Amino acid sequence: MIFILIESSACEQILEVKYPERKAMITLNCILTSGDSILMEVKSSQSYPPQSDSTLFIKNASIALYEDQKLIGELKYREADPGIYPLKKKFQYFNYYLTDRIMAESGHSYSVNVSAPGFTDISANTYIPFPVPIISVDTSSVVINYSNSQLKSLECLINFQDPEGKNSYMLSVDRIGRYKMTYYENNVLISKTNTVRYFIPFFCEDPDVVYFRISPGSPGTIPLEKDEKDSWMSEVFITDDSFKNKVYSLRILIPYMLLNDNAYPQNPGEKFTMRKLNIRLYSINDEFYKYARSWYTQVYKKNDMFSEPVGVYNNINNGAGIFSGKSVSVDSSVVVRIYYNPSLK
């Protein structure tokens, strides 16, 4: 028997990979909502090599907005101020705005042209569909299995008539409530309770919905497993591919434990108060649905080394982002008990 010993050696070499230079472009993010004021986020994409010492917000852009090809105004810049605000103030994540006297309207087309020194001009077009009325909301109390336990939950069947044509929808639930805020002002600790809008998480087992999955064990994170059922969401998207021109019932489940107010009761000793749920059925155009679906798919797959890269849908000419629209139908017929946080009684 003959043994042959083969000795192999490996050499290591550092390879320098030169990425092509990439010029920064204008990014525009705007979802026009019928009946609401017009706000836009206009920023710069990151160039390569990156400019770490510069802000991504563009403060000197010229933005012209058109409705049905007619100029309706030019947007103005303001400093963005993200955070939690009382209900009477808007969430200020957008750095350009149109005067509050001009509102977006359903049934109209919109276009926008944006220019800024040092950038290629961008443009985009969209259309705001008409709202689809909610026929009724049927409710009942049920018990669901959740993470090896059982939860008493509110079952809601949202019924609506799908009109002719290709239609897409977004559903969310919110309510008005009270929220305890604690912060420092001039080195003094201040604690007060404000009226705010709570967005209510829910379960939805409809196989056709697209949604941003929130892990119940660690809120705000995205589990990679797409078949995980013990998760809730704050909004869902769906097209009418499976129910064209029919009455459809979208079923959601809201655990009662998610309906607490993180606030002191208005009346000392009060354990709960009655609040209306605002069930919002948005009619969205195809661009909005494609954007949401592609973005959620990208989030699902970003940590999967075996998946193909997923690009987010973009309808901005010569730039990046989304310019789209939606209209809403609201049902506020459901009234529930909202308990105050026991630690704040």
Per residue in 264-316, pLDDT (tens digit) is 677 777 777 888 999 999 999 999 999 988 877 776 666 666 777 778 899 99
**Strand-pair category, 168-185 with 70-74:** unpaired
- Residue 337 CA, chain-centre distance (Å), reads 27
Same domain, 180 and 92: no
Q: What is the mean pLDDT of the chain?
A: 81
Question: What's the pLDDT at 227?
Answer: 42
Lowest mean pLDDT among 3-12, 42-51, 215-224, 265-274: 215-224
Q: Which residues make Cβ contacts (< 8 Å) with residue 284, sequence separation at least 6?
A: 129, 168, 169, 170, 237, 324, 325, 326
Question: pLDDT confidence of 80, banded at 50, 70, 90?
Answer: low
Same domain, 148 and 188: yes
The size of the chain, in residues, is 345
| Mean per-residue pLDDT, 148-156 | 90
> Final residue of a domain: which of 127, 145, 167?
127
What single-letter amino acid sits at 179?
Answer: Y
Angle in degrees, CA 327, 328, 334, rounded to 5: 180
Residue 210: give the domain boundaries. 134-313+326-344
Report pLDDT digits (tens) over 200-217.
Answer: 989 888 888 887 654 444
Question: What's the pLDDT at 213?
Answer: 55
CATH, residue 72? 2.60.40
Instruction: Return the residue matching tokens 């404000």.
Output: 194
Q: How many domains does the chain have?
A: 2
Q: What is the pTM of this model?
A: 0.81
Same domain, 168 and 276: yes
Question: pLDDT confidence of 10, banded at 50, 70, 90?
Answer: low
Assess whether pLDDT exceeds 50 at residue 69. Answer: yes
Residue 194, both tokens: 């404000």
- Residue 205 CA, chain-centre distance (Å), reads 19
| Mean per-residue pLDDT, 123-150 | 93
State whether residue 339 is helix, strand or coil: strand
Same domain, 232 and 214: yes
Does a structural domain hold residue 17?
Answer: no
Same domain, 332 and 260: yes
Question: pLDDT confidence of 82, banded at 50, 70, 90?
Answer: very low
Phi-psi region of 39 (alpha: psi -120 to 50; beta: other; left: phi over 0): beta
Q: What does the alpha-carbon distance between residue 170 and residue 290 come to, in Å, rounded to a whole number?
A: 12
What single-letter amino acid sits at 268?
Answer: P
Lowest mean pLDDT among 94-103, 229-238, 290-299, 316-325: 229-238
